[in-house]
Chain A
Amino acid sequence: MDAFTQLMGGFAAALTVSNLLAALVGCLLGTVVGVLPGLGPSTTVALLIPVAFSMQPDAALIMMLGVYLGAMYGGSLTSVLMKVPGEASSVMTAIDGFAMAQQGRAGPALAIAAIGSFIGGTLSVVGLTFLAPVIAGVALSFGPAEYFSLMLAALLLTSVLLGANLVKGFISVALGLLIAVVGTDLQTGVSRLTFGFTGVLEGIDIIVILMGVFGVGEVLWYLAHRDGESGDRLGIRGRLWPDRDDRRRSWPAIIRSSVLGFLVGILPGSGSSLAGVLSYTVEQRISKEPERFGNGAIEGVAAPETANNSATGGALIPMLTLGVPGSGTTAVLLAVLTVYGIQPGPRLMTDSADLVWAIIASLYVSNVLLLVLNLPLIPLFTRILDVPVRFLMPLILVIAGVGAFSLSNSFSDLVLVFAFGVLGYLMRAVGIPLVPLVLAAILAPKMEQSLRQATLLSDGDWTVFLTSPISAVFLALGLVVVGADIVSKRKRKRRLVDVTEDE
């Protein structure tokens, strides 16, 4: 009941003219970047950080969350009409969505994607509304030892879930942890790993890392891999609205995928893409006619589009209640909180209750806005694809460069943002996932602080991490996940070998 009262207060804040406008701008912008392949929500939100400086915290976060949600809605459009996923989270949508478009059923495919997105998005915010206060309440009792172990477990989970190669996931985490060391140690005042460069004495701003890896890096990757200009796209012919058979097939898929996406979203490192893939696989497995999948099954569109949206609500839970982001976009949102001097963590929901509930309420609002905007504006959004990439991508490079410069009028930040862009491109080229690095760099200062505080409190006895039950559980969980990953990959490899030998 308490959550409900606070949510109503949140609605009062979210429905002011300026915040509604922020939500609308965010939703439109998000849909646009969702439509555009090569531009994702984490890139866009990172590039918006300089803009956030000139806004109120609630309006800025509402706008950024609008981008996050809008990108999930917009990603379906190019998947269905061109078989080019606008977002990684819409990869599965392209399979059956494009098949439907070829059969002249692009309308129902896009409509069910929007409806599924709305239902999944809204149900997951309901889950967030009632689960977040509970988790934050539990987390309030965490001491530094528990916190350290929680963050370590989250990083381990991220390395397991992102990328096929565990070693490369760990490398990404370790690089992030090391980058965060650069600068002056806050507790002792000594400079660390600065190697004589004065520009990094105050440390490398996490925002520079985010804008470099997600902004510049993504553009470099896209430019190196784009193949010519956009290809043919199918139009929307015939009816837009799903018929009775479509609805009958879609409903159960939407409900199942809402729950699945939400749960997957909570896990650090999983996010919307995994939610989309898992929900598609589940629907295909339990379907009575699995052969329809791949040939224009509407469930194959409804499931991933619902799941990638319901993952957004789930992903916000660890970010808002624990200060531990689980995905690229929530990592950027967390960094934005610190820009305003707001300390993320379990106290966030009590100390900044007004802000948090305004944000949560805005998610309901944005989902409605997107449902209303999405269907009538589809023809307009497809026109966005006519904007030539050759004009758009250089613009992003310039904005990232001067955006980083403007953070503290520092030329070294401009150089660093490009350097991190090149690093991000190189990491992608050799198959090292980027998100673990970003998460590690964000969590590292708090991890080290917790590590030292915990040892200080226990008079230098490091076994405190094992003797505190909650901390031990987190550490055990992290190890179990890593162990399970190693064992399952071994098995899979052996099975692959068996199969080839049979042939």
Chain B
Amino acid sequence: VNEIATTTRTGLLHSADLWTGLAVTAVGAVGLVGSLTISAPRGLSGLLGPRVYPLTVSVLLILLGVVLVVRAALAAAPVHADFGRHSTILVVIAVLVGFALLFQVLGFVLSAFLMLAVLYRFLGERRLWLVLLVAAVTAAAIYLGFRDGLGVDLPTTPFGL
């Protein structure tokens, strides 16, 4: 009767649910540690204090993570994650990190121009002049739109770019 095969050891390591469960448990554990270090003012204990709620949620996360890990171990076949094209996503995330780093140094216009140009090129636009033109116009338009339309001055370099 017990036909449901448990996942083989190698299959389990490919299970997205296993890693998700572990990650969720880890987040819950971090939350738990953080919750325990919250210094509750005297007299405010139990449900009235600032600790109970985050503590409860953290424990809940740990439990849910464990449930997911157990289910992954008992599953007949590993559930695979759908990350899409790894190369694309890694490059785009790297560009986002680069933008965040450059933003403080170069200001908005230059860093946005660079980010847009790199992404346009990466996503398949071959004509370099078009890449540079659209990136420049777009970065400038967003800057002016935020400044004149929304009254937000985005940071720029001392040269005003």
Residues of A in contact with B (beta carbons under 8 Å apart) = 50-51, 53-54, 167-168, 170-171, 174-175, 177-178, 181, 185, 187-188, 190, 192-193, 195, 216, 220-221, 223-225, 388-391, 393-395, 397-399, 401-402, 405-406, 409, 411, 414-415, 418, 421-422, 425, 428-432, 448, 451-452, 455-456, 460, 462
In the bound complex, do residue B92 and residue A171 qualify as a contact, i.e. CB atoms below 8 Å apart? no
> Does B142 interact with chain A (Cβ within 8 Å)?
yes
Once the chains bind, are B152 and A429 in contact (CB under 8 Å)? no
Q: B78 interface residue, CB < 8 Å from A?
A: no
Q: How far is the CA of A193 from the CA of B123 in the complex (A)?
A: 38
B154 touches A406 (CB 8 A): yes
Interface size class of B (residues with CB under 8 A): 35 or more
Q: Min CB distance, B7 to chain A, in Å?
A: 16
Shortest Cβ distance from A50 into B: residue = B150
Q: How far is the CB of A265 from chain B (nearest CB, A)?
A: 28
Q: Are B71 and A406 interface neighbours, CB within 8 A?
A: no
- Judging by beta carbons under 8 Å apart, are A430 and B84 in contact? no
Asked if A402 meets B81 with Cβ closer than 8 Å, knowing A171-B68, A174-B60, the reply is: no
Cα–Cα distance between A187 and B142 once the two chains are bound (Å):
40
A178 touches B104 (CB 8 A): no
Contact present for B48 and A422 (CB under 8 Å): no
- Determine the residue in chain A with the shortest Cβ distance to B68: A167
**Distance to closest chain A CB from B64 (angstroms):** 5
User: Once the chains are docked, how many angstroms separate the CA of A432 from the CA of B27?
Assistant: 15
> Which residues from A are CB-within-8-Å of B58?
178
Contact B53 A181 (CB under 8 A): yes
* Closest Cβ neighbor of A456 among chain B residues: B48
Chain B window 100-126, contacts with chain A (Cβ cutoff 8 Å), 1 for yes, 0 for no? 100110001000100110011001110
- How far apart sit A434 and B50, CA to CA, in the bound complex (Å)? 27
Contact B115 A398 (CB under 8 A): yes
Which one of B53, B65, B81, B154 has the highest number of Cβ atoms from chain A below 10 Å of its Cβ?
B53
B99 touches A401 (CB 8 A): yes
Residues of A within 8 A of B40 (CB): 188, 190
Q: Does B16 contact A (CB under 8 A)?
A: yes
Tell me whether B50 and A462 are in contact (CB under 8 A): no
Q: Which A residues are CB-close (under 8 A) to B17?
A: 430
| Bound complex: CA A388 to CA B134 (Å) | 12
Closest residue of B by beta carbon distance from A170 = B64
Task: Name B154's contact: one of A188, A225, A405 (CB within 8 Å).
Answer: A405
17 further A-B pairs in the complex, CB-CB below 8 A; given A190-B39, A391-B125, A430-B16: A50-B152, A170-B64, A171-B20, A174-B61, A177-B57, A178-B57, A190-B38, A193-B31, A220-B89, A225-B82, A390-B124, A393-B123, A402-B142, A414-B103, A429-B16, A430-B81, A462-B47
What residue of chain A has the Cβ atom nearest to residue B59's Cβ? A174
Bound-state Cα–Cα, A497 to B122, Å: 47
**Whole-angstrom CA separation of A425 from B82 in the bound complex:** 10
Is the beta-carbon distance between B154 and A402 smaller than 8 angstroms? yes
Does B100 lie within 8 Å of A460, measured CB to CB? no
Across the interface, A171 reaches (CB within 8 A) one of B65, B120, B123, namely: B65
Q: Cβ of A430: which chain B residues have Cβ within 8 Å of it?
A: 16-17, 19-20, 81
- B83 an interface residue at 8 Å Cβ cutoff? yes
| Contact A394/B103 with A54-B149, A167-B71, A418-B96 known, Cβ cut-off 8 Å | no
Q: Is the CB of B125 within 8 A of A192?
A: no
Residue of B31, B96, B125 near A390 (CB, 8 A) is: B125
Chain B residues near A390 (CB-CB < 8 A): 119-120, 123-125
**Which of A170, A171, A395, A425 interacts with B89 by CB under 8 Å?**
A425
B79: chain A residues at CB < 8 Å are: 431
Are the CB atoms of A397 and B96 closer together than 8 Å?
A: yes
> Across the interface, do A174 and B57 meet the contact criterion of CB distance under 8 Å?
yes
CA distance in complex: A168, B21 (Å): 9
Given contacts A188-B41, A411-B104, contact A394 B123 (CB under 8 A): yes
Contact for A422 among B38, B49, B93, CB less than 8 A: B93
CA distance A464 to B40 in the complex (A): 24
- Judging by beta carbons under 8 Å apart, are A455 and B46 in contact? yes
B82 touches A429 (CB 8 A): yes
A422 to B90, CA, bound (A): 10
Would A53 and B150 be within 8 Å (CB), given that A174-B61, A223-B89 are in contact? yes
A224–B84 CB distance below 8 A:
yes
What are the nearest 10 A-B pairs in CB distance? A224-B84, A390-B123, A394-B119, A455-B47, A406-B152, A185-B50, A193-B34, A225-B84, A181-B54, A224-B89
Residues of A within 8 A of B53 (CB): 181, 448, 451
Q: Is the C-beta of B128 less than 8 angstroms from some C-beta in chain A?
A: no
Q: Is B35 located at the chain interface by the 8 A CB criterion?
A: yes
Of listed B27, B58, B89, residue having the most chain A CB within 10 A: B89
Asked if B57 and A411 sit within 8 Å, CB to CB, the answer is: no
Residue with the greatest number of chain B CB neighbours at <10 A, chosen from A405, A456, A460: A405
